[in-house]
Structure 1
Amino acid sequence: MRYIMTIVWAILIGAAVSYVLTSMGGEPFVLSEALILSGIFVIAAFILGEGVLREKSN
């Protein structure tokens, strides 16, 4: 379930960031580019969550 929610949140945040950046730049919003950015967010979240930020058990 946490993987599904990570993907959902990454898509929402990626789309919002892409929309804001394209609006600030005066460019049209392109959904495929927003999904690519969301994919990058998903990969980064999985890498950080499973490896870098995981607490070590004693």
Structure 2
Amino acid sequence: MTVIWALLIGGVVSYVLTSMAGDPFNLNTSLIISAIIAVVIFVLGDGILKGNSQE
């Protein structure tokens, strides 16, 4: 469920930013960028940041 929310929120942020810039919204690019950001956040949250909090 977290992955779905990450993709939806990433899509909304992408839509708002492209609308503010006046560019056309591209759903495919938005989903790809959202997926990459979600993976980075999951890796940081579960791996790197969790390891630092145990010290």
Q: Contact 1:22 / 1:28 at 8 angstroms: preserved in 2?
A: yes
CA separation in 1, counterparts of 2:37 and 2:46? Answer: 14
Residue 42 of structure 1 pairs with residue 33 of structure 2: no
* AA of the residue aligned to 1:32: N
TM-score of the pair, normalised by structure 1 = 0.75
TM-score by length of 2: 0.78
Runs of 4+ in 1 over 6 A off after TM superposition: none
The answer for unaligned runs of 5 or more in structure 1 is none
Aligned alpha-carbon RMSD (Å): 1.6
Which structure 2 residue ranges, 5 or more long, are not aligned? none
Equivalent in the alignment of 1:12: 8
Deviation of 1:50 after TM superposition, in Å, equals 1.5
Selected match of 1:26 from 9, 19, 22: 22
- Quote the sequence identity (%): 53
